[in-house]
Structure 1
Amino acid sequence: MNKLSRIIIIGFGTVIGCLGFADRVHAQAAYPYSAQAYIAYKQDTIAFTHCYLADVIHKTVLNDETIVIAHGIIIKTGKTKAVQIPHSATIIDCTGKTILPGFVLLHEHMFYPAASVSPYYVHYKQLPVSFPSLYLACGVTTARTAGSVEPYSDLSLKKEIDTHQIIGPSLYVTAPYMEGEGGFAPQMHEITTIDEAKRFVNFWADEGFTSFKAYMNLNRSVLKAAIDAAHARGLKITGHLCAVTYREAAEMGIDQLEHGFFAATDFIPGKQEDACVSELNPFKHIDPRGKQAKDLIDVLIKHKVILTSTLAVFEGLCKQDTITQNVLDAMSPDTRDMYLKYYSHERSADMDSAMVKEFVMEKEFADAGGLLCAGTDPTGNGDVLAGYGSLRAIELLTKEGFTPIEAIRIATYNGALALQAQQNIGSIEVGKHADLVVIDGNITDNINNIEKTEWVFKDGVGFNSQKILQGLKGQVGKY
């Protein structure tokens, strides 16, 4: 296996979280002193006036709207001239600004690749301080982790965020990877029998995880046992597959699949049962609008399988270098050196052609009625960081032909639907949590305006995005 293949494998992390909506502490519960410097607004009642409002339900951007929140809940929306603002409200004039729902992303990690070069050794480093803050600063208010390498760390992070000990998105936590024989990472436990799969699911469900993820080398019988065991507990399971095809997994009852179609082995010539054969471009032999692709899409939709798009992690493997200066500036010196000296050179023109087909197939899936969600996957070759990569993943959806508001819906309401939490989050509607992202500009004019985040409100508490990002410069990779 060459270095590029190894890196691509790293970029295929995942899992699905679907229990009830996470319990949240009252919005005004005190944050620690260390977080106070980042809080711009914590008043009980706030009115955002004269804003553009991203209405993801009707897929339109409304003009001159007002949103009123109280005690962490949205209580009013409507045209500014028609909304009666409570006398006690703090008023924020949002002329020229767009308010989006907080992002709900489904392929997130609290770790980052840290492989040694010689000898080559795959390793992941948990970043429990910088990654939650990065996610929140860039507008991610809810995140499903997508496979854990430090499971008790992820559980602790969830608890600390829920109780306001640290800042970060509300977490739906996924259990450790369910890998088969031949896994490449030492942090992944290999499961080879049906009984092992059942014990694994029940143990980690008892520990508090709300979802599971099947990984590349898991065979059909073990995957089927894992799916049945998860469903018996009322939980869900997703997969970054390889040995098992998408069609096989859909017919077994898997709930979700990660990385769009990049992890599908259905179209690889000579694919043998229960054998993982990874290709850089797994659909180079097919027409993405042809019968084979359509038949697979039909099967996925028939079985109500959700897809998570993770475009940013694959863009990093394309021939043209797309990393931005703010991402390099965020990295700690040793992390940046590792990336520039090693990972940044592992790119391929084959990935450019693969991306073109991926764009088509994800759009075809969504247009046919499939539920497409979005995720970051801050792994790959190291140029995708939490938060920054999240925004890029959303922007890239517009290259598939989605309008800016459609891309925002995929990254908000669709994610809430997948988590079965749409009654509480995912859109700007009365009665929902005040999870809001305030950006400078109108996304209709330019989707890249989502990078101009000013404040992120989570349960009605407003955080200064740029202060958080400034405080993390040169720190990502340390902790």
Structure 2
Amino acid sequence: MKKLLKGIGKTVITVFFCLVFSCKLYAQSAYPYAIQAYISYKQDTIALTHCYFGDVIHKTVLSDETIVIAHGIIISTGKTKVVHIPPGATIIDCTGKTVLPGYVLLHEHMFYPDASISPYYIHYKQLPVSFPRLYFACGVTTARTAGSVEPYSDLSLKKEIDAHQIIGPTLYVTAPYMEGAGGFAPQMHEITTTEEAKRFVNFWADEGFTSFKAYMNLNRAVLKAAIDAAHARGLKITGHLCAVTYREAAEMGIDQLEHGFFAATDFIPGKGEDACVSELNPFKHINPRGKEIKDLINILVKNKVILTSTLAVFEGLCKQDTIPKQQAFDAMSPDTRDMYLKYYSHEKSADMDSAMTKELVMEKEFAGAGGLLTAGTDPTGNGNVLAGYGSLRAIELLTKAGFTAIEAIRIATYNGAVALQAQSTIGSLEVGKHADMVVIDGNVADNINNIEKVQFVFKDGVGFNAQKILQQLKGQVGKF
């Protein structure tokens, strides 16, 4: 009885706080009719009972738990026999299902490879209709884009999602790529002077972008100018580097580095200053648990550099990789699927097998040393990774590095929220946070692959039918 009264008291206090101080604007009625067709639950108060509870804070999965949400906020969690369910609440029996925080992923794009083979021309196609929906239906409720090729399209997507006009994750938008001279992609602007870097940062910050991404050929002087300009605006900068080493970037003050250690050129013999020397296996000459990598990890951790793991996009380049799962093929438009099977799928190398094996070890070492490891999808590469489906694969692959299922999910939820400095509102299933949640069939503690069985995705307390969204997208990805 004492525990019951304590639970009731916490619920009442939280509800009072939310109502009086308007801790969350709850606007489910703002969804247009076309979107409401995908909504299964939009009641003011909902209780998800008898669920497996993904506790990413304590890194455990609890059984027979109940989560109560009201007006878009989690107001109570705990054992089903103890939690007070307010009168009139809609009850969802989640027996045999796991409830997780919505994924918070940090290397996302709204575009996909669309190259010409003959004549050869590298191009990326914006997919503003299918990609936001794919991400969301697979459980991604918050995403940071990691470089833009159509910046105003990304900004518009963010605004439309925030206004409930389209389905998609809350977006943190990154400005166009900051590339140096000699870049491979015509859609990326090349920046060669420190003054241009400052102008670039200030222009796109004024347009509404909240982060920046340095790319492969940017040299040290220009990168340093970009870092300083971003920090002067109170904004963050990440990097997929090559000309600049991880050690150099960390000492300059970069906030984050993409692709785990795959983009690190610190260990490539003979690399000159400001020279981009790219190798499929940049770890060929090092022991993944040896002194060289440990010294680099210590520098990254000391300088509080965040690392984003993007394992799925590299798996597709491995010889040992199988082709994408059937649901990803089903989502592709016929011409996109044909392009992948005829051309992209042959871009594989045995060197990547060795690199992947070492990368898994080094990501675990980084996290073990106290580094903040986050996760991302990167739906580019050789086309094997789609938004959403690739996101889930990126999480699953973390378990191959030695993380438990719930540890991998923490990396893809709470750690992402910490990196965005948003952990007070998203990233875990705690009282007072937004009700951004994923309901999946099965227990993730039994099998990480159960995360593929998404049934409902809740955003701000509104529950969407994930399978209905995915069904509508079959054969469409690549068109728009």
* TM-score under structure 2 length normalisation: 0.94
More moved, 315-324 vs 468-477: 315-324
> Secondary structure of 2:190's match?
coil
Match in the other structure for 1:343: 344
Alignment of 1:347-366 (within 5 A): 347-366=348-367
Q: Confirm or deny: 8 A CA contact 1:281 1:351 kept in the other structure.
A: yes
| Aligned-pair CA distance for 1:26 | 2.7
Match in the other structure for 1:443: 444
More moved, 186-195 vs 314-323: 314-323
Q: What amino acid does structure 2 have at the position aligned with 1:307?
A: L
Q: Does 1:168 align with 2:168?
A: yes
Q: Does 1:154 align with 2:154?
A: yes
Q: Confirm or deny: 8 A CA contact 1:72 1:461 kept in the other structure.
A: yes
Structure showing greater Rg: 2
Q: Confirm or deny: 8 A CA contact 2:24 2:72 kept in the other structure.
A: no
- Give a deviation string over 1:197-255, Cα, whole Å, max 9, x none: 00000000000000000000000000000000000000000000000000000000000
Q: Confirm or deny: 8 A CA contact 2:24 2:73 kept in the other structure.
A: no
- Give a deviation string over 1:159-216, Cα, whole Å, max 9, x none: 0000000010000000000000001111111000000000000000000000000000
Q: Confirm or deny: 8 A CA contact 2:52 2:63 kept in the other structure.
A: yes
Distance 2:79 2:166 in 1: 36
| Aligned-pair CA distance for 1:359 | 0.3
| Aligned-pair CA distance for 1:25 | 5.5
> Secondary structure of 1:277's match?
coil
Q: What amino acid does structure 1 have at the position aligned with 2:329?
A: L
Alignment of 1:366-377 (within 5 A): 366-377=367-378
Q: What amino acid does structure 1 have at the position aligned with 2:468?
A: K
Distance 2:337 2:139 in 1: 24
> Secondary structure of 2:271's match?
coil
Alignment of 1:220-235 (within 5 A): 220-235=220-235
Distance 1:325 1:91 in 2: 34
Q: What amino acid does structure 2 have at the position aligned with 1:403?
A: T
Distance 1:56 1:324 in 2: 27
More moved, 26-35 vs 438-447: 26-35
Match in the other structure for 1:3: none
Q: Confirm or deny: 8 A CA contact 1:98 1:439 kept in the other structure.
A: yes
Q: Confirm or deny: 8 A CA contact 1:50 1:95 kept in the other structure.
A: yes
- Give a deviation string over 1:80-137, Cα, whole Å, max 9, x none: 0001101120000001100000000000000000000012111000000000000000
Match in the other structure for 1:17: none
Distance 1:462 1:299 in 2: 43
Q: What amino acid does structure 2 have at the position aligned with 1:132?
A: P
Distance 2:59 2:250 in 1: 29
Distance 2:24 2:274 in 1: 42
Distance 1:403 1:146 in 2: 27
Distance 1:89 1:217 in 2: 56
Match in the other structure for 2:140: 140
Q: Confirm or deny: 8 A CA contact 2:251 2:303 kept in the other structure.
A: yes
Alignment of 1:139-218 (within 5 A): 139-218=139-218
Distance 1:406 1:205 in 2: 34
Q: Does 1:84 align with 2:84?
A: yes
> Secondary structure of 1:76's match?
strand
| Aligned-pair CA distance for 1:346 | 1.1
Match in the other structure for 2:120: 120
| Aligned-pair CA distance for 1:27 | 4.0
Q: Confirm or deny: 8 A CA contact 2:65 2:80 kept in the other structure.
A: yes
Match in the other structure for 1:265: 265
| Aligned-pair CA distance for 1:28 | 1.6
Distance 2:354 2:327 in 1: 27
RMSD, matched Cα: 0.9
| Aligned-pair CA distance for 1:385 | 0.3
Match in the other structure for 1:59: 59
Q: What amino acid does structure 2 have at the position aligned with 1:405?
A: I
| Aligned-pair CA distance for 1:410 | 0.2
Distance 2:186 2:25 in 1: 36
* TM-score under structure 1 length normalisation: 0.95
Distance 1:30 1:125 in 2: 30
Alignment of 1:13-92 (within 5 A): 26-92=26-92
Q: What amino acid does structure 2 have at the position aligned with 1:457?
A: F
RCO higher in structure (CA 8 A, sep ≥6): 1
> Secondary structure of 2:450's match?
helix
More moved, 28-37 vs 395-404: 28-37
Q: Confirm or deny: 8 A CA contact 1:54 1:60 kept in the other structure.
A: yes
Match in the other structure for 1:242: 242
> Secondary structure of 1:167's match?
coil
Distance 2:29 2:187 in 1: 36
| Aligned-pair CA distance for 1:383 | 1.1
Identity value in percent: 86
Distance 2:27 2:390 in 1: 27
Runs of 4+ in 1 over 6 A off after TM superposition: none
> Secondary structure of 1:370's match?
coil
Match in the other structure for 2:19: none
Q: Does 1:431 align with 2:432?
A: yes
Q: What amino acid does structure 2 have at the position aligned with 1:339?
A: Y
> Secondary structure of 2:248's match?
helix
More moved, 249-258 vs 321-330: 321-330
Match in the other structure for 2:16: none
| Aligned-pair CA distance for 1:35 | 1.2
Q: Confirm or deny: 8 A CA contact 1:373 1:410 kept in the other structure.
A: yes
Distance 2:24 2:301 in 1: 33
Distance 2:281 2:70 in 1: 50
Q: Confirm or deny: 8 A CA contact 2:177 2:188 kept in the other structure.
A: yes
- Give a deviation string over 1:288-336, Cα, whole Å, max 9, x none: 0000010000000010000000000000001132311111110001111
- Give a deviation string over 1:421-440, Cα, whole Å, max 9, x none: 00000000000000000001
> Secondary structure of 1:112's match?
strand
Q: What amino acid does structure 2 have at the position aligned with 1:431?
A: G
Match in the other structure for 1:19: none
Distance 1:384 1:33 in 2: 31
Match in the other structure for 1:255: 255
> Secondary structure of 1:54's match?
strand
> Secondary structure of 1:338's match?
helix
